[in-house]
Amino acid sequence: MHRFSVALTSVLHAQLVDHLVRSDGDEDLAFVVWKPSMGGSRMTAVLSEVVLPDAGDRHVHGNVSFESRYFMRACDHAARLGGGIALIHSHPGAKTWQGLSSDDHAAESGHAAQATQLTGLPLVGLTFSGGNSGYSARVWTRAAPRVWEPQWAESVRVVGQQMRVSLPKLADNYDARYQRRTIEAWGEERQHILGSLRIGVVGAGSVGSQVIEALVRSGVGKLVILDYDAVEDHNLDRILNATVDDAEAGYFKAEVAWRAASRHATHPRPTIRWSASSAIESEGLALLKDCDLIFSCVDRPAGRAALNALAYAHLIPVVDGGVLVTPGRKVMRGAEWRAHVAAPGRRCLECLGQFDAGLVQADRDGLLADPTYLAQLPDDSPLKRNENVFAFSAAAAAEQVLAALRMIVTPAGIADAGAQTFHFALGTVDFDSRGCDSGCMYKDMTGAADTSGRPALHRHVAAETSRAKTQARLDERHRKQATARASANRWWHRLAIWHRGR
């Protein structure tokens, strides 16, 4: 069975608060349309639109009840949008994850079959806790004929400039022996949230390797690392934890990062996975859709375009950045590095100029690894620039991690400092707090999840080529090791015969 979670935008959250928090302190309810986001091991119900009750559709009397016509109208609307329906009701004074009373259970289970029949998707139930503006959630599945049971969500995340996460329990997400100073900084609740988040890191090179180190030291325990490239000699001046042995053996960067992260994790039960797949391939995309937050540590357009779609359509915030060095002829002219978060209400990666859609298909086709293709790009194209220094990557990685932490920890109540560009020569920082440009395609797909058809799956020729090359190298290494073992065995055998002969 897939795990289950719920996501909604901060805009939709504000609409729900407006409706559910009543001046008379009574409970209230509403139906909400949701769209499925299917990952490899988790389904997320992405709430997309509230269907507010008309006059007489529901009855508020301390508790709250609804008329059948309201339920049918919501189902009909959801079905036309390709979504399911969620029933949300409020517990005005509650401050924690709410369970189900017998009345709540009866109301939701009693409509589960019909909602599934009418929309083709299961009923989702949510309880809004008025005391802390948090949620609890469950999805109703058929356990036996005419028996419907709730499967509880592992989290409900509200995504916008801030990322707020409701969790069913605040236990076992950190080990105080290893996190004492960190918890003293931002408190137990934030540490529980960090420890509960499943975070994807796409790219385990110069920036990604340092992002991963910062995350596991900070108590992140559920990590997915994607990179299809292998460690090479020329990477060793920048990739944290990669060694000459790794380069000689030709290990995947993701595997090297996974090994280090597993050793350095401070979470009590780390579950860290790695994959040599790309964000546009089926395995990689399925792993990323299981995540609550993604770090984009790639510099190519196809990956960034896919991650940008995940940020808006699937409400998985993407923390992106990068380093650009301007070498000069004799004296280095400068360097800059960026950090920003793509999420609803913030400027997307395309509007920030972090990728050019015109180059995406060329990247998928492997042309951006082809010197003849690169030769015709302008001299100042970022795609032709590979200069980098460990310290620049360390700074970029730190700023990306800080941008994510700002969104979750909200120091002094501030979640978003805007997109930031740091200048090495001047030591200055530029801020860009604009939203997306008008007509932005990504903004328009907010909350559409799988019904958007985005991001689409593609072949990624560069990934296939890199994996084949790395696998051939590993096979050759294994062949040599097997030959050496056989040779050693022959010598031992001769030695044993000689020894017996004496």
Partner 1 sequence: MSVLNVDAAARGPDEFARQLNLLGITGVSVNGSWVSFDLVIPMGAYAGATRRIAAEVPVDFPDMPPPGPHVSPPTIHPAGAVHASALGADWVYWSRPTPGWATERSVRAWLRHVRSLFAQVTSA
Determine the Cα–Cα distance for residues 301 and 304; give it in Å rounded to an integer. Answer: 5
Q: Which of 175, 232, 356, 464: binder of partner 1 (CB under 8 A)?
A: 356
Q: Which of 373, 389, 464, 471: binder of partner 1 (CB under 8 A)?
A: 373
Stretch that binds partner 1, among 10-18, 228-236, 350-358, 480-488 (CB under 8 A): 350-358
Q: Which of 453, 475, 481, 495: binder of partner 1 (CB under 8 A)?
A: 453
Q: Is 40 helix (H, G, I), strand (E, B) or coil?
A: coil
Spatial CA neighbour of 64 closest among 33, 90, 87, 85: 90
Query: In the numeric block, which tokens belong to residue 236?
Result: 């060793």
Stretch that binds partner 1, among 2-10, 146-154, 165-173, 361-369 (CB under 8 A): 361-369
- Return the bridge partners of 190, or none: none
Q: Least separation, in Å, of the C-beta of 276 and partner 1?
A: 23
Of residues 406 through 445, those in contact with partner 1 by CB under 8 A are 437, 439-441, 445
Q: Detail the DSSP E strand segments found in 203-254.
A: 222-226
Q: Least separation, in Å, of the C-beta of 324 and partner 1?
A: 19
Q: Least separation, in Å, of the C-beta of 350 and partner 1?
A: 5
Q: Least separation, in Å, of the C-beta of 376 and partner 1?
A: 3
Q: Least separation, in Å, of the C-beta of 21 and partner 1?
A: 34
Q: Determine if 454 is a binding residue for partner 1 (CB under 8 A).
A: yes
- Return the bridge partners of 362, or none: none
Q: Which residue has the tokens 């309880």?
A: 127
ω into 455 cis (within 30 of 0): yes
CA angle 199, 318, 290 (to 5 degrees): 40
Q: Least separation, in Å, of the C-beta of 444 and partner 1?
A: 9
Q: Determine if 362 is a binding residue for partner 1 (CB under 8 A).
A: yes
Determine the Cα–Cα distance for residues 288 and 306; give it in Å rounded to an integer. Answer: 10
Determine the Cα–Cα distance for residues 98 and 457; give it in Å rounded to an integer. Answer: 38
Q: Which of 376, 412, 427, 500: binder of partner 1 (CB under 8 A)?
A: 376
Query: In the numeric block, which tokens belong to residue 65?
Result: 């009840």
Of residues 288 through 307, those in contact with partner 1 by CB under 8 A are 305
Q: Which is nearer to partner 1, 38 or 441 (CB)?
A: 441
208 Rama class: left (phi>0) / alpha (psi -120 to 50) / beta: alpha
Stretch that binds partner 1, among 107-115, 214-222, 455-463, 481-489 (CB under 8 A): 455-463
Determine the Cα–Cα distance for residues 434 and 346; give it in Å rounded to an integer. Answer: 7
Q: Which of 108, 246, 320, 350: binder of partner 1 (CB under 8 A)?
A: 350
Determine the Cα–Cα distance for residues 306 and 457; give it in Å rounded to an integer. Answer: 9
- Return the bridge partners of 277, or none: none
Q: Which of 56, 62, 328, 358: binder of partner 1 (CB under 8 A)?
A: 358
Q: Determine if 449 is a binding residue for partner 1 (CB under 8 A).
A: no
Spatial CA neighbour of 193 closest among 162, 160, 151, 155: 155
Of residues 309 through 348, those in contact with partner 1 by CB under 8 A are none
Is the Cβ–Cβ distance between 183 and 175 less than 8 Å? no
Q: Which is nearer to partner 1, 456 or 495 (CB)?
A: 456
Give the interface with partner 1 as residue ranges (CB under 8 A): 305, 350-351, 356-362, 364-365, 367, 372-373, 375-377, 437, 439-441, 445, 452-456, 458
